[in-house]
Amino acid sequence: MASNYFSFKILSRDKKTKAKTGVINTPHGKINTPAFVPVGTAATIKSLTPEEIKNCGIEVFIVNTYHMIFRPGVETVKKGDGLHGFMNWKFPLMTDSGGFQAFSLGEYGPRNVSDKSENMVKITDQGIEFKSAWDGKKIFFGPHESILAQHKLGADLIMAFDECTFYPIKKSYAKRAMQRTHDWAKTCLQVKKQLNNKQTLYGIIQGSVFEDLRRNSANFFAGKPFEGFAVGSVANSREPRKKVFQVLDWTLPILLPVNKPIHFLGIGEVEDIFIAIEKGIDSFDCVIPTRLARMGWIFTKSAGLKNKFRFDITKSRYHSLKSPPDRSCRCYTCTNFTKSYLNHLFRCRELLGYRLATIHNLYFYANLMSQIRTAIENGEFLKLKQEWLKV
């Protein structure tokens, strides 16, 4: 579905896989795909300025709607000229629907601040009742409220309201949650049409680890006027890794022929990125590079698949090493500082250490995506995959 504010164009296809390059055009600029989307939970990629984010090669990141409705409030952001003006980011932005918090807070996250035994969310067919993780304040959030909130936040790419399920799960509940997601999706389309805004709405495929449910959900969304798709409820450490990618095998044959951008929610390990792109995914988001950066983990190709392409700069072995964190990297961190200095910063808990590690990790991911796009264009995607993963 193309318009004067949004378009998606496939530029090249790999002949041996489903990997492809493309470009998503938005009111705030273009996103080259495949694209990694960092997580800026509270309208910030922690510790970095917008200029630093852009200099890392990042074209888009995702902001968490749930956190925005509580702090500082969507009306405050709207008065600040939307997220773009509020945070002075002049490039594309994505927001999630808020539905993920029903999963993360209701099943695994913190409880009500006043009652330790009570879940912070209550899910009904109408929507979700949240309790603030900060003061216990109750807010009802349904599909209408989600789209209205994302409208006020003003992101370019927004998500339909969904119920993200846990694992393991009974099929009866997975089916019920999927049907809720479908019903809510219809409402999201109606609300967006009434608002007549210039945002691009993605529908989220659900169905947990059940093949028939996933196919059902993919067919449902493929037949609706969403401008993009997202594959949800698979980024859960409790789910067997095999099942995570089986979901793509079930859904992508239905979604790919529609020729709309497809986002994979919550995927960020290097190996998983190659697998997802090979199957046809256009973008994915994850906290891995930024969250681990603040813990002292530095991403580098030389660490290899066995070590998940990263090493812990806080270890004593790096205390006196004068070499850059990554000899092959041209980011600001690696061209100006040593492993010894970063080791010192983290051991002293200096804020600069978090910043420098985050800059490097974002640059690493952006550079990896650039390499992948070039490899696809040159018909060398599998060669690059083998070089990185040794498979």
State the catalytic residues. 96, 285
The dihedrals phi and psi of 105, each to the nearest 5 degrees, come to -85, -40
Helix axes 171-195, 143-153, angle to 10 degrees: 50
Number of H-type helices and E-type strands within the chain: 14, 16
Residue 272 token pair: 């998983």
User: What's the token pair of residue 352?
Assistant: 């600069």
H helix or E strand, kind and range, residue 121: strand 121-123
- Tell me the binding residues for Zn(2+): 329, 331, 334, 360
- 210 contacts: CB under 8 Å, gap ≥ 6: 171, 174, 175
Quick check: 158 and 201 in contact, CB under 8 A? yes
Annotated binding site for substrate: 96-100, 162, 206
- Neighbouring CB atoms inside 10 A of 291's CB total 16
Rounded Cα distance, 364 and 88, in Å: 24
User: Which residues are annotated as part of the binding site?
Assistant: 96-100, 162, 206, 329, 331, 334, 360
Q: How far apart are CA 43 and CA 45, in angstroms?
A: 7
Can you tell me which residue has the tokens 């959030």? 141
Alpha carbon distances (Å) from 263 to 200, 203, 326: 13, 10, 30
Are the C-beta atoms of residues 94 and 156 closer than 8 Å to each other? Answer: yes
Angle between helices 351-377 and 270-279 (to 10 degrees): 30
- Residue 180 phi/psi, 5-degree rounding, is -60, -45
Q: What are phi and psi of 53, to 5 degrees?
A: -60, -50
User: What is d(CA 325, CA 334) in angstroms, rounded to the nearest whole number?
Assistant: 6
Q: DSSP letter string over 114-158? A: S-TTS-SEEE-SS-EEEE-TTT--EEEE-HHHHHHHHHHHT-SEE
